[in-house]
Structure 1
Amino acid sequence: MIEVEGLTKTYGEKVAVQDLSFVARTGRVTGLLGPNGAGKSTTMRMILGLHRATSGSALVDGRAFVDSPAPMTAVGAMLDAHAVHPGRTARNYLDALAATHHLPARRVDEVLELTGMTEPSRRRVGTFSLGMVQRLGIAAALLGSPHTLVLDEPVNGLDPDGVHWVRELVRSLAAAGTTVLLSSHLMSEMAQTADDVVVLGRGRLVAAGAIADVVAAATASSVRVRLATESPAEPLTAAVTAAGGTTSATGDALVVTGLDSEQIGHLAARTGSVLAELTPQSASLEDAFFELTKDSIEYTTGGTTS
């Protein structure tokens, strides 16, 4: 389990992370989300002791990671997959890690096979594609069969098969009792991978909890309503408004927020409105993310040009 309590990091006058607290639980995948500059990588580096916190604490299984007597068995981490000398081979790099951490040599073969890197392992890292470098970084993180896994953008550069592989890998590790903390900018992939999310904005905690709870709290549920051609919209629209709901037109349908399908159905029956469609609309993690971080985006793009 990772426990972050009151974590703050300043660089001069710049506050990168401020009073951040959250828990990444054992046996679950926790996604760390936020716009660029939100403090995700800084937070991961403080958890791993690579950056010293200005104040607060970050504990892994009850202790600071820097105090671990066997670091690679406690935490496997990939923060920068390119942090390998390009002139070394993948196998040589992993062999050195295993030797310096007193890990059995056979474990190198196991992680190479697990990550699909056995065949190219004799090649120099400088010849690798971005996806291959990512796989090597994950292999290194897994080398010590760690109790906790911390991955920063692990699917960056991977093809669809590789993205699916990472998803299945981290979920299977969590199911076996590993604590997994990972970051990603791919909301759709995070929605399929993570159990819980921690959302940051400008270094502060914006939301945390199970994905379904965070999405429900950040977004309003809606229902798509389409009336039969012969049925005017005004009576139902007026009834929805009187009942505390809101409506907006989209194409040939109405989107109703603030009321559920059953309530809308009763109002339609009462007003004599003939329904052709009544479909609940589920908000996505991406919808919730944009709603939660709309005031925390440090870098915004301009409009389109013609």
Structure 2
Amino acid sequence: MEDFFDLDLMLRALELDFVQTGLLTAAILGVVAGVVGPLIVMRRMAFAVHGTAELTFTGAAAALLVGVSVEFGALAGAVIAALLLALLGGRSSEQDSVIGAVLAFGLGIGVFLLWLYPGRAGNKFGLLVGQVIAVDEANLMVFAVSGVLVIGVLALVYRPLLFAIVDPVVAASRGVPVRLLMPVFAVLVGIATALGVRTVGVLLVIALLVTPAAAACRVTSSPVVATVLSVIFAEVAVLGGIVLSLAPGAPISPFVTTIAFLIYLVCRVIERRRRVATRSGGQLKPTAAATATRQ
């Protein structure tokens, strides 16, 4: 066990500039994922995130092949995926099939592009499982600008967007531009997904965008509190996962996903105990979605 977990190696690695840049990048991602996550959970878009991630992978693989920044390729792929899902999945009955079709298409093309790439196998592997330590200052700037953009747009449209997510029919009847807000939100989710590719990779990006938010929604009925908790949980998972991965020099994704899943399990236990207590008292607390509807 001591050979696997080398504390001295971890402490020395934390002093390196590129590791500190990676941690700062991951911290930005944690904020973005934590803010967007509860809305994804309320909208029941976990499968859509996975579908978006596949086209994000396609864009990143294309960028790797032509020799441009992976972040720009991932962002382009994510925006295209968001627009495709918004345009093709208008009816709720068609959404799962549309996401499945987009997911399969993106994964197939992405694998083909990686096959064409003549460079190091490590670069290919990094797209799948994450390689945040490879982020440089230029990549960090892309993360920062993208993060500010996502959070800034969400701050402007949060209340009507929350209303549209919780009850789109009533929101539309009250003049909320649901048809405009949903594509905008899909693009924001796409950008957040693209940022997650560097950290946990395309295969496990859902761990940061969904798991912390799902855990937060288990322990609170307030959308605002759920967002705060989601940010905290995402930061603990991504930063803790990176730090722990430094000791054995292993890929980041298993550590990030394990921490996120443990947080989720703890929150489920807390929720279960609260339900037992509230049932004993004769009153159940409303869910976060129900609270948002009344607001």
TM-score by length of 1: 0.23
Instruction: Name the structure with the higher strand share.
Output: 1
TM-score (norm 2): 0.23
Structure with larger RCO (C-alpha < 8 A, sep 6+) = 2
Structure (1/2) with the larger helix percentage: 2
